[in-house]
Structure 1
Amino acid sequence: MEILFVSDPLESFKIYKDTTFAMMREAQRRGHTIVACEPQQLLWQRGGVVQAQARAITLTGDPKTWFTETASSVRAIKDFGAVVMRKDPPFDSEFFYATHLLEQAEREGAKVFNKPRALRDHPEKLAILEFPQFIGPTLVTRDADAIKRFHAEHQDIILKPLDGMGGMGIFRVKADGLNLGGIIETLNKDGAQTVMVQKFLPAITEGDKRVLVIGGKPVPFCLARIPQGSEVRGNLAVGGKGVAQPLSDSDWAIANALGPILAARGLLLVGLDVIGDSLTEINVTSPTCFQEITDQTGFDVAAMFVDALEAAV
């Protein structure tokens, strides 16, 4: 079948680690045709259907010129066998608008993964609120005084913006409360923006684990992103070291509990972030770590994903 990947520009891919590239490579290996477009190339006009300026490509196996473009044309989204939404965060207004265009394409017959409505309904930090049994002490507020009370209770806390990614804007405040007021002002902008505050979890020293769930089923290995040096963040984007390891009992429990629920909502691929035995985020926009897990364990995550994609259509 023809698979349309809605993604960032192909020229920006770092194919040695890019999860979307791993998906494309496995799909092409099975004989599927790979087509790509960017969100800004989606369009709709009254009397017609949602379309995209789409590029049909062939993967070459050459790391320097990793694809060749075989055709480019305006295509109806509904005519593809599957559409895989892989635009990286941030989930900004343009991402939001793209989900509406893709949802219109669904009404016209397109099969889109992850489902556009589910992308909107599961903001990656706030989605954990539905599952309080798996999360640590957490506060979501604009109120500076509420944050200060939370700090007084828990002493060692993490503050982060709701629209951050890759560890951006994350602060730790220890028992001394050093610079807590300034951090609150920076993040909540005098009460204009909502902040998430969580009790610091010492288990971060063992890694911020990315647990992948595909078609409602957990990948049996996770990637523990371990902070380096004096850094509190384990995100790979800020220098964390990725170490693949088998899921722990608590990882399995969280993934098995959430997997079927999220899959039933149209979330074919989910990345659960877990520190110790606490769920900290539910990533749905463009979960990664396929290649790191496969390279270190031999478990073919991309094959599991394409299996699920083929079954879903």
Structure 2
Amino acid sequence: MKFLFIADPLESFKINKDSTYAMMRESARRGHELAACEPGRLRWVSDGRTGGPVRAQVRDIVLTGHSDPWFRESTVRDTALRDFDAVLMRKDPPFDSEYFYATHLLEQAEREGARVYNKPRALRDHPEKLAILEFPQFIAPTLVTREPQAVRDFHSEHRDIILKPLDGMGGMGIFRVKDDGLNLGSIIETLNQDGAQTLMVQKFIPAIAQGDKRILVIGGQPVPYALARIPQGGEVRGNLAAGGKGVAQPLTARDREIADSLGPLLASRGLLLVGLDVIGEQLTEINVTSPTCFQEISDQSGFDVAKRFVDALEAAIAAG
């Protein structure tokens, strides 16, 4: 089969930990053909009467099995997305306007016969921080607002809180304010931008000291190991990009309860791959754009996450 990966520039991949690379490697091992492009290469054109298919300038690649270079480009060609057996949208966040526009082009490609994973509409319908609002039974006390006074009231009630922007990634822009309220006003101004930006506020969960767990759900079923991203050096953030230490561990009963409750529902909406973030017993995010941690979990646990993913992808293609 032929797979197109829409992703960041291939030259930027860190293949020792990149989950998209793990997907490519397992796909190539099975004999599938690989191509890649960046979202900026997508385009659609009409002659004023009819429209052609969504197309892209893609790079056909072959993996070398080495780290440098890790791929060889065989051809660069212009082709319709519907000509691939699967199109995998793996562009990293942030989910900005250009990402949003790309999902609309991908949805048009779907109407023309392309098979896109995760589904473009599902990507739009599940913003990674706000998607948890649908599942209040699993989350910590949470506030989403533009109003500075609402944030102050939330702090007065819960005393120890986390504030974060809705469009951040990798732990970027996350602040903790303890009982003394130190710098709360300044942090609100920074994130809220005088009422122009909505922010999320959550009660601080002390279990972050044991890690922010990434639970991968593939085809509605959880991978049996999570990656606990443990804050280091006095940090409140466990994100690997913020210096957190990743430790693979079996799912707890609560982890499974959350994953088993959300997994089949999210899969039915066209989300083949989801990354649930859980701190202690609380769901904190639902990651759908380009969930990671494949290699860290596989390397430490022996469970082949990429194999599970490509199995699910092949099954989804066969099911039509």
TM-score tier after normalising by the smaller chain length? over 0.9
Q: Distance in 1 between matches of 2:306 and 2:313?
A: 10
Q: Does residue 252 of the first structure (1) align with residue 268 of the second (2)?
A: no
Deviation at 1:197, TM superposition (A): 0.2
Aligned to 1:133: 137
Q: Distance in 2 between matches of 1:66 and 1:95?
A: 27
Runs of 4+ that moved beyond 4 A: none
C-alpha deviations, 1:214-233, integer Å up to 9, x for none? 00000000000000011000
Q: Distance in 2 between matches of 1:159 and 1:218?
A: 29
SS in structure 2 of the partner of residue 303 of structure 1: helix
Deviation at 1:119, TM superposition (A): 0.2
Provide the aligned C-alpha RMSD in A.
0.4
SS in structure 2 of the partner of residue 148 of structure 1: helix
C-alpha deviations, 1:176-221, integer Å up to 9, x for none? 0001000000000111110100000000000000000000000000
Q: 1:71 aligns with which of 71, 75, 79?
A: 75
Q: Distance in 2 between matches of 1:303 and 1:192?
A: 44
Q: Does residue 219 of the first structure (1) align with residue 220 of the second (2)?
A: no
Aligned to 1:273: 277
Aligned to 2:44: 44
Aligned to 2:13: 13
Deviation at 1:292, TM superposition (A): 0.1
C-alpha deviations, 1:71-95, integer Å up to 9, x for none? 1100100010000000000000100
SS in structure 2 of the partner of residue 183 of structure 1: helix
Q: Which amino acid aligns with 1:44?
A: W
C-alpha deviations, 1:100-157, integer Å up to 9, x for none? 0000000000000000000000000000000000001000001111100100000000
Q: 1:169 aligns with which of 161, 170, 173?
A: 173
Q: Distance in 1 between matches of 2:199 and 2:10?
A: 33
Q: Which amino acid aligns with 2:238?
A: G
SS in structure 2 of the partner of residue 84 of structure 1: strand
SS in structure 1 of the partner of residue 296 of structure 2: helix
SS in structure 2 of the partner of residue 90 of structure 1: coil
Identity in percent: 75
Unaligned runs of 5+ in 2: none
Q: Which amino acid aligns with 2:283?
A: L
Q: Distance in 1 between matches of 2:278 and 2:200?
A: 16
SS in structure 2 of the partner of residue 164 of structure 1: coil
Deviation at 1:6, TM superposition (A): 0.3
Q: Distance in 1 between matches of 2:143 and 2:80?
A: 44
Q: Distance in 2 between matches of 1:195 and 1:43?
A: 33
Aligned to 1:310: 314
Q: Distance in 1 between matches of 2:200 and 2:7?
A: 28
SS in structure 2 of the partner of residue 184 of structure 1: helix
TM-score when scaled to structure 2? 0.97
Q: Does residue 243 of the first structure (1) align with residue 255 of the second (2)?
A: no
Deviation at 1:21, TM superposition (A): 0.2
Aligned to 2:302: 298
SS in structure 2 of the partner of residue 58 of structure 1: strand
C-alpha deviations, 1:244-286, integer Å up to 9, x for none? 0000000000000000000000000000000000000000000
Aligned to 1:25: 25
Q: Distance in 2 between matches of 1:230 and 1:279?
A: 23
SS in structure 2 of the partner of residue 211 of structure 1: strand
TM-score when scaled to structure 1? 1.00
Deviation at 1:172, TM superposition (A): 0.1
Aligned to 1:120: 124
Deviation at 1:61, TM superposition (A): 0.6
SS in structure 1 of the partner of residue 170 of structure 2: coil
Q: Does residue 62 of the first structure (1) align with residue 86 of the second (2)?
A: no
SS in structure 1 of the partner of residue 173 of structure 2: coil
Aligned to 2:2: 2
Q: Which amino acid aligns with 2:17?
A: K
Unaligned runs of 5+ in 1: none
Q: Distance in 2 between matches of 1:54 and 1:233?
A: 37
Q: Distance in 2 between matches of 1:262 and 1:290?
A: 19
Q: Distance in 2 between matches of 1:298 and 1:64?
A: 25
Q: Which residues in structure 2 correspond to 1:151-166 (within 5 Å)?
A: 151-166=155-170
